[in-house]
Amino acid sequence: MSAAAGARRRAFAPDWTGRVVVAAIALYTLYAFSALDFSAQRFATGLGEGARLIGRMLPPNFARWPLLVEGLIESLQIAILASALGILASLPLGLLAARNLMPGWVAVPTRFFIAFCRSFHPVIVAILFVKAIGFGALAGVAALIVASMGFIAKLFAEAIEEISPKPLEAVRASGAPFAAVVIFAVMPQVMSRFVGFALYQLDSNLRNSTMVGLVGAGGIGGTLDAAFKRFDYDFVSAILIAIIAMIFIGEILSGWVRRAFQ
């Protein structure tokens, strides 16, 4: 470029770093496809299979709706209980993990615990709970409580760390005990955000509660797994439609609640 210095400045200089990155990603994609044993022929066969699958999924078969409704209700129960207990457990955890309220020797281990809760997929946690407390909805509830703690306790802690310190100082200066500091200085500042996080977690628990059944932890997932294994694809599509409808309704409801709390 130095030769051209003093000459015309180019408005849209070529972005060589960007090009190299794009080329590297393209190369990796090709390599990964070959490493994963992907071929055009397999893709073509797959498309044929896909067409057959869709053919067998249509029309969806709602004939066994009592089974479907039973599974959905259990998933809903799992989601509600896991959210309620998970949020309840996250409140103290969030307080303990907030670095502006707690000394480092409390906050840091709590943060590690929260990160640990978050590091496994809910389905893996569900497997362990199925072994520990047996098949059924309770294992699903326990697994989703762990998942909820991992997510909302972290968000709670971050929200608490962002609050203004002035009300804290004012309440402390009046000689209030710790509980009063939390109730009168911390909670009013973070309550509306907490409601938002709680609703988000309820949505996410509802999604996951339809899945923990795949490993025997209750809910519609067990029904779905059985239908897939028996190649009842028309019932599979009915279940999928029902799950999507339930999640959709859940999102609309949580939108209403969010507006009520704004």
Partner 1 sequence: MTPAQHAAPLAAVDREWRRFSPRERFARWLVYLVAVAAIVWSVRTIDVIPEFLADAPTQIVDLFQRMWPVDVAHYRRGIHDVLIETLHIATLGTILALGLAVPVGLLAARNITRSRVANQFAQLILVSSRSVNSLVWALVFVAVFGPGALAGALAIAFRSIGFVGKLLAEALEETQRGPIEALEAAGAPWGSIMLKGYWPQVQPAFIGIALFRWDINVRESAVLGLVGAGGIGVALDDAMNFFQWDRVAMVLLTILVVVVIAEILVTWIRRRII
| DSSP conformational letter for 4 | G
Under the binding rule (CB under 8 A), the answer on residue 178 touching partner 1 is no
Binding mask 119-138 for partner 1 (x = CB under 8 A): xxx-xx--xx--xxxxxxxx
The position carrying tokens 């190649």 is 231
Q: Which is nearer to partner 1, 101 or 126 (CB)?
A: 126
DSSP line for 208-233: HHTTGGGGTSSSHHHHHHHHHHTT-H
Under the binding rule (CB under 8 A), the answer on residue 113 touching partner 1 is no
The amino acid present at 111, given as its one-letter code, is: R
The position carrying tokens 């480092």 is 104
| 186, 101 Cβ separation under 8 angstroms | yes
Q: Which is nearer to partner 1, 28 or 178 (CB)?
A: 28
Q: State the Cα angle at 120 between 116 and 122, rounded to 5°.
A: 120
Tokens of 10: 């180019």
Touching partner 1, residues 66-95 (CB under 8 A): 74, 76-78, 80-81, 84
> In this structure, how many other beta carbons lie within 10 angstroms of the beta carbon of residue 174?
10
Under the binding rule (CB under 8 A), the answer on residue 34 touching partner 1 is no
Q: Which residues bind partner 1 (CB under 8 A)?
A: 12, 25, 28-29, 32-33, 35-38, 42-43, 46, 49-50, 53, 74, 76-78, 80-81, 84, 115-116, 119-121, 123-124, 127-128, 131-138, 141, 207-208, 210-211, 214-215, 218, 224, 228, 233, 240, 243-244, 247-248, 257, 260-261
